[in-house]
Structure 1
Amino acid sequence: MSEAKDLTDDPNQSAEELPPSETPWQESLRLFRKDRLALVGAYILVLLLFAAVFGKVLTEWVVVFDPEVVRLPEKFLPPLTFSSPDEVPAHDRPFGGIYLLGTDELGRDVFARMLQGSFVSLSIGFIAVGISLAIGILLGGLSGFYGNVRFGVVTVDTLIMRFTDVMLCFPTFFLILTVVALLPPSIYNIMIVIGLTSWMGTARFVRAEFLALRKQDFVVAATSVGARDRRVIFAHMVPNAIAPVLVSATIGVATAILTESGLSFLGFGVQPPYATWGNILADGKGFIFDAPWLFFIPGMAILVVVLAFNLVGEGLREALNPKLRRR
């Protein structure tokens, strides 16, 4: 017999002394905090967000963190090298007079460029996922809730899902590469294109959840008392269908960052003067033997961040899915 059962069977114990029951979200949070790998990923992401936000301020407003200052006499310096006051004017020297991550082929501070790149890469990841979530939730919700409505000889569900299947037939990266090659290079174009080509998984998740929720008693009861479709969808169905969407979004940010890095590495991504981890990696590939830190540092940053997002996504998947919860 469980401890909770023993407590309720005790006639001398009042109801006020019983431990409060957990809500589903509190239980999910408790289970997530038990997953050490997920917590490690979460801590890494918090540090990254901190670096991205403050890096944006530092690289734009503090001269010593300017990522575009060229110092040709001090090019290809390895990490943790001090700047020479005889070679570089005082106003062009890095913070503390030391290049924490070395310099590139133009003498630019790699640490400052990585700070700038973290904000750009994360912005692309989050905004692209936001676009894909908006499209996926809309189409998946329409397909799951109004799927039986007919347009001629086809239903809404058939129309939306067949369009989703067509989109899934194309290799996503090559589709993005084709579209980006036809558009002017721009951060906003990269965000929009990645978002417009990555909504299919979310749409399928939301559709499946809506189809299951439509049969639940609380949805049937809300419909039977005359609640409007809008209230049923947004007050009852969307909150209960959000768990797989959160998991998909977390992993989607990692995928978007990886996609942007691949595009920038191939020369179709964000263009100079903006620095992203992808174009820093592309700039360093020609000096992999002479200055390996130019290739290794952005590559490791991409690896660690993508791994952190995937660890958090896996932790959320197990914490939010009752069938996969660890007891």
Structure 2
Amino acid sequence: MQLRIFTEPQQGASYDDQLRVAQATERLGFDAFFRSDHFLSMGSASGLPGPTDSWVTLAGLARETSRIRLGTLVSSATFRYPGMLAVQVAQVDQMSGGRVELGLGAGWFDAEHAAYGVPFPPKRFGLLEEQLELITGMWSTPQGEKFQYSGEHYTVTDSPALPKPAQSPVPVIIGGNGPRRTPALAARFANEYNTSFPAKADIPERFAAVRKACEEAGRDPDDLIYSVALVLACGSDEAEFARRAAAIGREPDEVRRNGLAGTPQEVVDGINQLREHGASRVYLQVLDLSDLDHLELVAAEVAPHVAG
């Protein structure tokens, strides 16, 4: 089971805060540092000092780390033109030596679009599908050839489809909870399907829908990685766990039900249950970026018991 650290910097984190967590992620042996792609805090968080752009941040981290994978869970198709996003991701992949993964979704948070003057179309799945076609098409176009595309939302004419990423291909992650269209997109474009913050009882059904979509598309369902993102709150004892739950505004009983929470053994048991459901990768949502001892505990007391 691969363990990845997943952060929500829009809740209040500078680049330096994220750098400390990313470098701890690498030092402690976790597989990857991922971040959300949002521009407005949620809930009661102040969001200070303000949002950081995900791909600008990952470009910096690409030069200040050497091993861990880097990516978004997930970028919103509404935030960038796909041709520009293809350039950005390819450049960060080159800067990292081929360690980038692109999570891409349709977008959902209309308030952040209003807050920063970004259009939020009511129907976005078609937009997402065309972006996936265009981005993967540009990356896969042989050097020296031109890429053309004509869709309902985007037209590309005589593109040199440059630069190329270091990886071929860059892994694409598609996440979401839709019963039909999301599985179909995952089957067609993704290297990984992710379900974020699901009810745990729903995970097998969501994975099954993606596997069925793969079969219908003539793809081996085992070609995909199946992953889950859940909030993390782990303590060496009950008091420390309760303190960490309070620090992120969660009640101990609630976060135990809905996240990976409690003592290290409880977190191990929760991860092993995800493995039984078919997951081979877990994104541990770390909300308190000042608490590096939290990562130390998980690396020492959880990770060795879920490896393999």
Fold in common (TM above 0.5):
no
Larger RCO, structures 1/2 (Cα 8 Å, 6+ apart): 1
* Larger Rg over CA atoms: 1
Name whichever structure is richer in helix by fraction. 1
TM-score class, shorter-chain normalisation, is under 0.3
Name whichever structure is richer in strand by fraction. 2
